[in-house]
Chain A
Amino acid sequence: MIPAVYFDGRSTRAIPVTVWREHSVLLWHTGDRTQHWQSPLEAFEPSARVIGLPYALRLADGAYLQVDHDLLPDDWFPRHHRLERVVDWLERKWPAAMAGVVIIVAALIGLFEFGVPWAADRIASHLPATLEHSMGTQSLAALEGRLLMPTTLKPEQQAHYQAVFQHFVQGIHGLPEVRLRFYTAPAIGANAFAMPDGSVVFTDALMKELPDDQAFTAVVAHELGHQAHHHLLREVLRSSGVFIVAGMLMGDVTSLGGVTAGVPMFLINAHYSRGFEADADSYAFDALAQQNIDPVAFVHAMQALKRAHPEIKGEDKSMRYAASHPMTAERIAHADAASRAFQAHRPASQAKGVH
């Protein structure tokens, strides 16, 4: 015999009752026994167990019995909500909550470190090349005339660099179709970048800073690394993935506004981008060494970039996780290491006839 409140589903009248079970039937009556009801156990749909909440034992016609949380006998509805019983058991344990915190942190790291990049890369490898190509032409068309102005390099200079570029590209296998473009871009300054359609863009300011053809080739090699590994498409897909996943997480879990969601997303995207840059750097070192160019040329290119951008001189170590590129000093150190390895192996590779 347990106390309960009965609602008949037709009015908001609360009727205090006493409920008891006889075999597979529940019976209940009012305190003064003037009103009686009964219904078989299987006609009830009980609510799932949640800490502190009263149970609602619902009947099909909308009537229900409300039973206090601690009063419902376990053997009345043993086969309902089996999954939620386990969840409820976990929800009552502080160790489970602490484990939950650890699992959430691990799951978020796993999701953004491996899950999203993996899924994005799978999608990228299955997208038709025409899509990547149209993406590149679309963004180049959007930049031309706004950020990218016609180049001021002399035609013979352009022809010279085009020849160096073509010669270098022909020595590399497995590249998609690539082409070299020059632009004047005061807003960007000395820089080079790759577009998804195979365009490698150099700004005039960078061309003025680069000391020699080998430094130019080193930058080309880096940008070809982006092309060879489809970094642009993959980066776009990854950051879209982060946006979608974070959007769904925020909408459901936290409902926090834009700024708070934007900061971690920015950091995650910068993290992916740093990985791609390091990837393109090591591609460049290999490509240069294969064509018998000392990767120290990359050091010269980086130093030229540094001269053109005085603000990166005092690079702040604390900004490392927000930076989209690895720290310049680190990149130079890696290039130096590649250069030493190149010099050490030079006779051997020449003996094998590697060009």
Chain B
Amino acid sequence: MLLSLPGGEAIRGIQAMHDETMASGVYLPEIDVAPPALPVSKGRRLEFRGNARDYFRIWIVNVALSLVTLGIYSAWATVRTRRYMHANTVLAGTPFEYLAKPIPILKGRLLTALIFATYVLGGQFFKPAQVAAALVIAVFMPWMIVKSLMFRARYSSWRGLRFYFTDDYGGAYKWYFGAYFLMGIPLVGFSLASLAGHPGLGAVLIFGGIAVIMPWIKGHQQEWMVENHHFGGKSFKFAAEVSDYYGVYIKAAGVAFAWMAPSAMLIGGVFFAFKSQMAVQPKAPPLLAIAAVYACMAPLYLGAWTYVHTRMTNLLYNNAQLGSYRFRSTLGYWEMFGIYLTNGLAVLCTIGLAMPWARIRLARYRADHVEIVGAGDLDDFVRDAFAHGEIGAAATEMDSLLGIDIGL
């Protein structure tokens, strides 16, 4: 399998390479001996080779070892499971590599646990400590996002070259912190309108304000994230228009509205079914009813979230460019919705045992729907001049605990 690389013929064809004596070592292929009539542009799909049977055993053994060692082994477990997912994602015959080491992950995880424990216990014994911790986390959030993206990039590689993410803290504070203060404008408008006795106008102001500002922020966040990534001596470029994001969010509002109908009907049914019990205990509705309401809200939440997630991912890839290569992401809404829904149900019904299967089929679908499009053979990338120093894992551990949706 390794010798039948898609680009294998071409590699042998381009033997006369000459080394331009730059510090980073730029290779220029001499095209004169190239095989005749290379296709102008061809798409290479990502390929996912993992399977749920193998991944299940890897996952379960590693979770068991992590629990038995009271979490110490979890860092090694994380590296093994992430390596399985990375190395089974294959582009042009070569797998991606996950290069992080367990010890820094363990350190980051211990620090995260300490911060988390301080936050939780602070809330019980000394509320100001909790508020202070929350503020500190909020202020450091953009810094954490940068560090986390740097970590992911630094320890992901393909064909021996590492990805790189620029340490652009200024940009992060601009788009993940400062930009949110703009949300204050509709809030102020809302308060003024309410004070003037027009709460209806205020609601329109707040909704309209968010509708105008939110897609704009999200678009710039994506642009910032893509353009700070680098690979093989080239920087990613991003070409989306702000109007694309308005399109996504307007349609998402429509999708959410459409999902409201079934959710509302289901909730109505639940209230009817539990009406008699509600009358007796208006303050403490039965647990089953609460669970049922959550279950009814799930389709609305899942339906709207999947739409935004799918369309934003497509936007991200379809507008990104690396050198002469472009990307094409064709994730379908209903397919993704089906995968998330059945994954969620399977995981719930098996009390988590279906988790590996769920991850594998999501990874397979996603890989099958991302293509790299370009005329070259993907061997024209060269080592960049970035330092690629070691990056601490604390930020990336923190963001996986807080579940920050960076959206890659």
Q: Which of B157-165, B167-175, B256-264, B308-316 contacts A (4 or more CB under 8 A)?
A: B157-165
Across the interface, A53 reaches (CB within 8 A) one of B67, B68, B87, namely B87
Known pairs A240-B120, A248-B112, A259-B294; list 11 more (Cβ under 8 Å): A12-B161, A14-B5, A15-B11, A47-B83, A51-B84, A66-B94, A103-B64, A107-B64, A237-B124, A243-B120, A253-B63
Whether A83 sits at the interface, judged by CB under 8 Å, is yes
Whether B400 sits at the interface, judged by CB under 8 Å, is yes
Across the interface, B56 reaches (CB within 8 A) one of A63, A66, A97, namely A97
Q: Which chain B residues border A53 with CB–CB below 8 Å?
A: 83-84, 87-88, 95
Q: Are B281 and A311 in contact (CB under 8 A)?
A: yes
Smallest CB gap from B397: residue in A: A251
Whether B390 sits at the interface, judged by CB under 8 Å, is no
Across the interface, A11 reaches (CB within 8 A) one of B63, B127, B355, B383, namely B383
Chain A count of residues within 8 A CB distance of the other chain: 72
Q: Which chain B residues border A259 with CB–CB below 8 Å?
A: 294
Across the interface, B381 reaches (CB within 8 A) one of A12, A31, A319, namely A12
Q: Which chain B residues border A243 with CB–CB below 8 Å?
A: 120
Across the interface, A248 reaches (CB within 8 A) one of B7, B63, B95, B113, namely B113
Whether A68 sits at the interface, judged by CB under 8 Å, is yes
- Which A-B residue pairs are the 3 nearest by beta carbons? A7-B160, A100-B64, A107-B67
Interface centre among A15, A92, A107 (most CB of B within 10 A): A107
How far is B401's CA from A94's CA once the two chains are assembled, in angstroms?
31
Residues of A within 8 A of B (CB): 3-5, 7-16, 31, 34, 47-48, 50-54, 56, 62-64, 66, 68, 83-84, 87, 90-94, 96-97, 99-101, 103-104, 107-108, 111, 131, 134-135, 138, 187, 236-237, 240, 243-244, 247-248, 251-257, 259-260, 263, 310-311, 319, 322
Whether B379 sits at the interface, judged by CB under 8 Å, is yes
Q: Are B61 and A97 in contact (CB under 8 A)?
A: yes
Return A113 CB to nearest CB of chain B, in Å. Answer: 14
Q: Which chain A residues border B284 with CB–CB below 8 Å?
A: 311
Q: Which chain A residues border B87 with CB–CB below 8 Å?
A: 50, 53-54
Smallest CB gap from B49: residue in A: A52
Known: A5-B2, A248-B401. A64 touches B352 (CB 8 A): no
Q: Which chain A residues border B74 with CB–CB below 8 Å?
A: 252
How far is B129's CA from A134's CA once the two chains are assembled, in angstroms?
14
Across the interface, A100 reaches (CB within 8 A) one of B60, B125, B232, B352, namely B60
Q: Which chain B residues border A93 with CB–CB below 8 Å?
A: 57
Across the interface, B80 reaches (CB within 8 A) one of A87, A248, A257, namely A87
Return B285 CB to nearest CB of chain A, in Å. Answer: 11
Q: Which chain A residues border B7 with CB–CB below 8 Å?
A: 14
Whether B54 sits at the interface, judged by CB under 8 Å, is yes
Whether B196 sits at the interface, judged by CB under 8 Å, is no
How far is B121's CA from A131's CA once the two chains are assembled, in angstroms?
12
Across the interface, B60 reaches (CB within 8 A) one of A10, A52, A63, A104, namely A104
How far is B3's CA from A4's CA once the two chains are assembled, in angstroms?
8
Q: Are B61 and A247 in contact (CB under 8 A)?
A: no
Q: Are A247 and B95 in contact (CB under 8 A)?
A: no
Q: Are A322 and B80 in contact (CB under 8 A)?
A: no
Q: Are B95 and A101 in contact (CB under 8 A)?
A: no
Smallest CB gap from B67: residue in A: A107
How far is B56's CA from A14's CA once the two chains are assembled, in angstroms?
31
Whether B15 sits at the interface, judged by CB under 8 Å, is yes
